[in-house]
Amino acid sequence: MICRIKLYQQVGYLRIRKYPLITWILLAILLTSCRQGTTSVAIPTLIATQKITETRTPVPTKTINSLPTETLFPTPKETLLASPTKPDTSLPAATITPKVLNVSPIVFCRDTAPGIGVFFLSTDGSQATKISSLTGFHDSPLWSPDGRQILFVYRAQIERSNVDIYVMNKDGSDVTRLTDHSDTDSFPQWSPDGTRIAFTSSRDGNDEIYLMSADGNGQTNLSLNPAQDTLPNWSPDGTKIAFISYRDGNEEIYVMSADGSKPINLSNNPGMDYGSSWSPDGMKIAFASDRVGNNDIFVINADGGSMINLSNYPGSDWYPKWSPDGNRIAFLSDREGFIDIYLMNADGSGVTRLTDSPQIELDLTWSADGSQIVFSSDQAGKSDIFILNTDGSGVSNLTNSPENEMNPDWAPP
């Protein structure tokens, strides 16, 4: 218990504010340290956010016509470590160059110190074009389901400014501020039909799941609970939202109707359950849990029945992502000593290691046809956007720039 308390003190609000994937990895590392008798682990310093308990009524949507004039602060650098190489192939950083691809466009974030901008990568991977016009710090760009708009999180300064949700056209025009509050609005997710946006907000003194129209109107608190609720995730048919809740004293996977009614604790275990991923047919949810003493990938029926440990391995497995056809699940694992991308069948069989590196891969996202995975990975001490085929071949550095890049998202087909 003492070790678990120390673990939470070291990670703090990181897991419900920003960089959730990095947080889960850090939690797993800390848990491992706890099991080994270590109670203190160095945690990299990431962007801090403040808690303000003031409650305000959401203001009407505003279109941004001019750039902020505030003095910006340099962004802290994250350590995103990885070197995505096929197990039997050596690809030195100096030899990895952008290659021609046959994929949909990709948006991503690039450290353009003193800010972080949103960039658009052409379909052949030949050039990256900045599309964001604001000069502050952008995060987590997401294509709308129809491919016409890009949702993103933004703060003007690294300190002394609130975090809000914005949207812009895919060419960067018509930048519109959807939320405007003194506290943090983050983790936005489009509904499958693109008409609504679920997000996390701490405007009521604790993190809650909110819902708004795609134009920013009608902002409503769905979860309405004094505990922390965060990381909303829509079901494929748009009728339900999965989220992480701390209302039972630990992280649990909850599901509620899209109007906030009928919240159900699906995972229902004293361990940490997190990282929900809906199957494409909406019948199952994959997630990571430490309930067996290490982190494994579990799958459960969306109605709460028939839970199965898919990965069932002594190492730690995190961040499951269903393939578009529902037949496979990609995930991160340290089972060979380092955190790499793995692939398994939806029943847990046929586990395959896709990357082989003494570093870490992050931000994995499937292509629409399920043939490739885009992710961020470190080469020579910085993060680039990479792509690989789902058999582990065709590793390509798409950006290969001097700056750090992260948060890639593929355009819909």
Asked whether the CA dihedral 28, 398, 17, 381 is positive or negative, the reply is: positive
Which pair of structure tokens corresponds to residue 61?
A: 């949507």
Q: What burial class does residue 376 get, using C-beta atoms within 10 Å of its C-beta: 0-12 exposed, 13-18 middle, 19+ buried? A: buried
pLDDT of residue 119: 95
pLDDT of residue 71: 27
Could you tell me the CATH number of the domain that includes residue 375? 2.120.10.30
For residue 201, the enclosing domain spans 81-410
Give yes or no: residues 19 and 116 share one domain.
no
pLDDT tens digit sequence for 264-284? 999 999 989 999 999 999 999
Q: What is the dihedral of CA 216, 222, 227, 231, to 10 degrees?
A: -60
Rg (CA), the chain: 20
Give percent of the chain above pLDDT 90. Answer: 58
pLDDT tens digit sequence for 160-180? 668 999 999 999 999 999 999
Place of tokens 């706890």: 34
Is 128 contained in some domain? yes
Question: Which of 338, 344, 354 has the alpha carbon at shortest distance from 387?
Answer: 354
- Compute the C-alpha angle 306/230/214, nearest 5°: 105
Strands (DSSP E) found in 144-195:
149-155, 164-169, 176-177, 185-190
Give yes or no: residues 396 and 267 share one domain.
yes
Q: What is the DSSP secondary structure assignment for residue 350, as one 8-state letter?
A: S
The C-alpha atoms of residue 199 and residue 219 are separated, in whole angstroms, by: 10
Phi, psi angles (nearest 5°) of residue 20: -60, -40
pLDDT of residue 101: 42
pLDDT at 6 over 60: no
Is 399 contained in some domain? yes
The C-alpha atoms of residue 268 and residue 248 are separated, in whole angstroms, by: 9
Are 97 and 117 a contacting pair, CB within 8 Å? no
Of 141-145, 158-162, 322-326, 405-409, which range is least confident?
Answer: 158-162
Average pLDDT over residues 303-318: 90
Backbone torsion region of residue 326, taken as left when φ is above 0, otherwise alpha when ψ lies between -120 and 50, otherwise beta: left
Q: Which amino acid is at 343?
A: L
pLDDT tens digit sequence for 327-372? 999 999 998 888 899 999 999 999 999 988 777 788 999 999 999 9
Is 400 contained in some domain? yes
Is 58 contained in some domain? no
pLDDT of residue 166: 98
Q: Could you tell me the pLDDT band of residue 252, with boundaries at 50, 70 and 90?
A: very high
Are 108 and 385 a contacting pair, CB within 8 Å? yes
More confident residue, 52 or 335: 335
Phi, psi angles (nearest 5°) of residue 62: -125, 135
Give yes or no: residues 113 and 44 share one domain.
no
Of 54-68, 134-148, 183-197, 228-242, which range is least confident?
Answer: 54-68
pLDDT of residue 195: 98
Give me the chain's average pLDDT, please: 78
pLDDT of residue 42: 33
pLDDT tens digit sequence for 184-196? 999 999 999 999 9
Give yes or no: residues 86 and 33 share one domain.
no
Is 243 contained in some domain? yes
Average pLDDT over residues 104-127: 85
Q: Could you tell me the pLDDT band of residue 124, with boundaries at 50, 70 and 90?
A: low
The C-alpha atoms of residue 34 and residue 37 are separated, in whole angstroms, by: 5
pLDDT tens digit sequence for 56-115? 344 344 444 333 333 222 333 333 223 333 333 333 332 333 333 444 689 999 998 889
pTM above 0.85, yes or no: no
Is 215 contained in some domain? yes
Is 65 contained in some domain? no
Give yes or no: residues 278 and 228 share one domain.
yes
Question: Which of 127, 62, 104, 91 has the alpha carbon at shortest distance from 411?
Answer: 104
pLDDT of residue 86: 36
Give percent of the chain above pLDDT 70. Answer: 73
Domains in the chain: how many in total? 2
pLDDT of residue 382: 87
Are 221 and 181 a contacting pair, CB within 8 Å? no
Which pair of structure tokens corresponds to residue 233?
A: 């995730």
Question: Which of 366, 378, 379 has the alpha carbon at shortest distance from 327?
Answer: 366
pLDDT of residue 66: 33
